[in-house]
Structure 1
Amino acid sequence: MAVAPGFPARRAALKMLDAVMRRGETLEQAEAAALKGVDSPADRALARAIVGETLRWLTDLDLLIDSSTKKRLPDDAKPRGVLRLMLAQALRLDTPPHAVIATCLPLLTGGPRRLAHGVFSTLMKREVSLPDVPTMSDAVLTRWGKRAEAIAPGLIDPPEVDLALKNPDETDARTLDMGGVSLAAGHIRLPRGTPIEKMPGFDEGAWWVQDFAAQLPSRLLGSGTGKRALDLCAAPGGKTLSLAARGWTVTALDINGKRLEMLRENLKRTGIEAEIVKADALTYHPAKQFDAILLDAPCTATGTCRRHPDVLHRIGPRQIGEMTEIQQSLIHQAVEWLPSGATFIYAVCSLETEESEDQARWIEETFDLEPMPIAADELPAGLLPTMEGWLRTHPGMLADQGGLDGFFIARWRKP
């Protein structure tokens, strides 16, 4: 039987969905194996879009499926996985139902195929729709509580593309030239879909890609002319580039050689200079002192759920507990290296309290550090510090301007 055009993309999407839901892999990890044999860039992009929308709206898709089956399908049943993909295409990607059927039903055989066909057809005849915003899973609701309602509107669509400019003075001119919008000096936001390499200013190294929230930690260290900074856990390097562009002499340390290569490439393209050190931060012994240490710590990355919706379904208490232990070990190292008068910034792209607010309280209880509260006039319009002087962002913030990732940032000074 001839394979319908587009079938390889659906097969790859099912493999990725299975890898995330059953094996707890990230989408990036799952792509490597799932996309083998899918040669068309359009098909590869389609597979990513299908599984991304499926994960973004998974709870609501499951509610629809359960409303049309006499007996609930097990979570790991293949027909449920295929139906999730089918409904995501019809309800989120506007794929015609006949095309969904032609490309997805071949993923099943026998009774499961008839079941999926019947459920999908019934739902299409009922003209079902999804809610205005995605419904969070029970596990996420338990962890995020009332915050989940505010976060959900930021998860409706994948994020746009944020750029950090090497020269903030060029913000207005480049924003106009690129047809984007700017949320602050040194930032431009563009619609997703444009190939990065073809954007104006790429070849001349005028900017790098970095989510707006991820640009904030380095901004909060200010100008660094004549000062040294350690960017701890630096790769892929957006904060290193930002600090160096602001005059800091930067040492970028990370254990991941492959991700450090991305930093090297961006340094070369932008003409920005920084020292790169490949080492384990837990065994590293700096030969020099730093005026500032920025620790953007490894974390569950649940704050990146706009572009990585897999984190909504594969992160739980075990992963959060593992990350908090690693974070505290890295904090111990960083604080030990701080000379008197130096600034320490702790940041994570996590929405979990254990990795953010709880860690900041632990730092203040454990170490001799003076809080350096973040002030409102240091932040872009629309963002405010917490009562403690920390910064907490989440995807529902600035929603009318495209939102931003979830980040937590706190700042101290060594007496």
Structure 2
Amino acid sequence: MAKPPRPKQKQGAQKSADRPEKPGFAARKVAADILGNVVHKHRPLDGELDTVSGHSGFRALAANDRSLVRAIIGAALRHRGEISEILTRLLDRDIPEKTGRVLDILHVAIAQMLYLDIPDRASVSLAVDHASTDKRARPYKGLVNGVLRRLGREREDITSDLDADRLNTPDWLFESWTETYGEDQARAIASAHKREAALDLTVKQDPEAWAQRLGGAVVGAGTVRLSKKGAVDKLEGFEAGAWWVQDAAASLPARLLGDISGKRVADLCAAPGGKTAQLAAAGANVIAVDISKSRLKRVSENLARLNLTAEIVASDLREWEPAEPFDAILLDAPCSATGTIRRHPDVPWIKRPGDIEKLAEIQAELLRRVSGWLKPGGLLVYCTCSLERSEGEGQIGAFLSDVPGFEVVPVLPKEIGGLSQCITPEGYLRTLPCHLTDTENIAGGLDGFFAARLKRF
């Protein structure tokens, strides 16, 4: 028997195609697509949101819609564990749709309903519209509508007993933090990740004056922390090169090299360049080495804006050799970046335990290699923006056991703005996201950093 004609379906599809999109629909669609790319394909969020080379749909949006996408994805990722548990409670069985598109649409909608100041009606309506226009999600548009409307009616009963700190952290990460820091501290770290990081600036001079000008406060070892976020390039002092963006914790490792004026200093794995700027501003003759040419281009642009100079080298440290030894070396080794989850909420969902192991091997190789480039009496600071012991304390312990001629120079509170809670019993620097949380009503916290200062004798 011949297949019957389907004029009604075609006509309906045509009507759907001709119907104008509701305001905000494109932003929600892009948000769900990017969320899927992050959690299913493990693509870094920064790459997806790059306005030059990122997601094509995102690049096509107006500025206000881009901001909305960032807010939605940020909330969806920071609260991903909670949202997943909510859906478990709302769904009788798993959704068989294999690409994850339906779940992405639901996560985007729930993030708006529960964690952003967006009315339920708009969130539900746009989610249903999205499901209706997506061939993978279309069979489930009724489910999307029903689940979200039920959440709107019963949100208190469904959400009141959620253990947010535990749910929003993958098991392997929470177990690692509990083993290293204890459960109370692990929960404090997880809680800090629910809040977006403040905008921190490292200034060339007079941080108190710049804090007053920009409406912020001085924190840590002289960082200016702003009370509000906005377009960085519109802030006073940007064009004049008076400061650069750098988390308060990220500014600490370079300080451990002490007085470096006139000294030959290497900044290894230098991009994005905040530490390069610090070293150059302190009067050092800096050689900045990184494997990424594109990221070094930005380092060069920032140095030009800041009226600072450094020799820029694009090379793999495993192949590059310096012309002569250095007085000091700063090795900001490639790492899992689990200390930067406040700024990069995708990290828990794109990293795996195996990634930590592979990175630890690279870190060990680089540390041993570059240690041979240091003059006798010189200082080597090894640092990572990781909370994992294997990328910090474990690396230094193994290095000191295997490589003779080095000793630890303990970090002193006065070197890091009096942050004595950030110094370990071994004399290492260890900042946590839950440190420095009360800052004159400004968003608090620090990136999680580890740093050890070694002297060659």
TM-score w.r.t. length of structure 1: 0.95
- Report matched runs for 1:137-156 at 5 Å: 137-145=170-178, 146=183, 147-156=185-194
Q: Do the aligned residues in 1 keep the contact of 2:221 with 2:415 (CA within 8 Å)?
A: no
Contact between 2:291 and 2:315, CA under 8 Å: does it hold in 1?
Answer: yes
Of the three residues 143, 148, 151, the one matched with 1:123 is 151
Residue 92 of structure 2: SS of its match in structure 1?
Answer: coil
Residues 210, 35 of structure 1: CA spacing in aligned structure 2 closer, same or farther, 3 A cutoff? Answer: farther
1:195 aligns with 2:231: yes
The one-letter code sitting in structure 2 at the alignment partner of 1:173 is: A
CA distance in 2, matches of 1:68, 1:118: 9
Q: Is the 8 A contact 1:4 1:102 kept in 2?
A: no
- 2:452 matched residue in structure 1: 410
Secondary structure of 1:214's aligned partner? coil
Q: Is the 8 A contact 1:12 1:34 kept in 2?
A: no
- Residues 1:249 and 1:132: Cα distance change in structure 2 (over 3 Å): farther
Amino acid at match of 2:445: G
CA shift in 2, pair 1:153/1:37, >3 Å: closer
Deviation at 1:288, TM superposition (A): 2.0
Cα drift, residue 99 of structure 1: 0.9
Aligned with residue 413 of structure 2, among 369, 376, 382: 376
In the alignment, which of 327, 332, 341 is matched to residue 368 of structure 2? 332
Correspondence for 2:313 among 273, 277, 280? 277
Distance 2:311 2:170 in 1: 43
Aligned counterpart for 2:79 among listed residues 23, 47, 57: 57
Greater C-alpha radius of gyration: 2
Q: Note if contact 1:294-1:345 (Cα within 8 Å) is conserved in structure 2.
A: yes
Match of 1:298?
334
Q: Which residue of 2 is the match for residue 100 of structure 1?
A: 123
Distance 1:90 1:148 in 2: 28
Change (3 A) 1:317 1:137: closer
Give the C-alpha shift of residue 76 in structure 1.
5.6
Corresponding residue for residue 244 of structure 1? 280
Mapped pair 1:222 → 2:258: yes
- Residue of structure 2 in register with 1:38 after alignment: 60
Superposition RMSD on alpha carbons, in Å? 1.7
The runs of 5 or more residues in structure 1 that have no matched partner are none
- The aligned amino acid for 1:359 is Q
Q: Secondary structure at the match of 2:240?
A: coil
Q: Which letter maps to 2:93?
A: K
Following superposition, the deviation at residue 59 of structure 1 comes to 0.6
Aligned to 2:377, the other structure's residue is in SS state: coil
Task: Give per-residue Cα distances to partners, 1:106-148, cap 9 Å, x unaligned.
Answer: 2213441111111111111113357585432223222222242
- 1:37 Cα offset (Å): 5.7
| Residue number in structure 2 paired with 1:113 | 141
Return the offset for 1:209.
0.5
Using the alignment, how far apart are the partners of 1:376 and 1:191 within structure 2? 26
Aligned twin of 1:289: 325
Displacement of 1:219 after TM fit? 1.1
Partner of 1:323: 359
Distance 1:357 1:301, change over 3 A: same
The alpha carbon displacement at 1:175 in A equals: 0.8
Q: Give the counterpart letter for 1:119 in structure 2.
A: V
Give 1:361's match in structure 2, choosing from 377, 393, 397: 397
Tell me how far 1:245 sits from its aligned partner: 1.1
Contact 1:133 1:155 in 2 (8 A): no
SS in 2 for 1:340: strand
Most deviating of 184-193 and 38-47: 184-193
Match 2:240 to one of 177, 200, 204 = 204
The one-letter code of the counterpart of 1:213 is A
* Number of residue pairs the alignment of both structures matches: 413
Per-residue deviation, 1:98: 1.0
Contact 1:66/1:73 (<8 A) preserved: no
Quick check: 117-126 or 143-152, which moved more? Answer: 143-152
Matched, 1:235 2:275: no
Could you tell me how far 1:358 is from its partner in structure 2?
1.0
Q: Give the CA deviation at 1:192.
A: 4.4
Aligned: 1:27 with 2:45: yes
1:381–1:89: structure 2 CA closer, same or farther, 3 Å change rule?
farther
SS state of the match for residue 250, structure 1?
Answer: strand
Superposed CA offset, 1:1-55 (max 9, x none)? 2211111111111111111111111102233125346320111111121111111
Match of 1:11 in 2: 29
Deviations 1:220-277 (A, max 9, x none): 1122122111000111110011011112211111121111111111111111121111
What is the distance in 1 between the residues matched to 2:57 and 2:344? 17
8 Å CA contact retained: 1:254, 1:279: yes
Structure 2 unaligned segments of length 5 or more: list them: 1-18, 133-137
Q: In the TM superposition, what whole-angstrom CA distance separates every residue of 1:164-205 from its partner, at most 9, and x where no partner exists? A: 0112xx111111111101114531011343111111111110
Matched, 1:387 2:387: no
Give the SS at the match of 1:313: helix
Distance across 2 between alignment mates of 1:244 and 1:205: 13
SS at match of 1:253: strand
The answer to whether the 8 A contact 1:252-1:277 is kept is yes
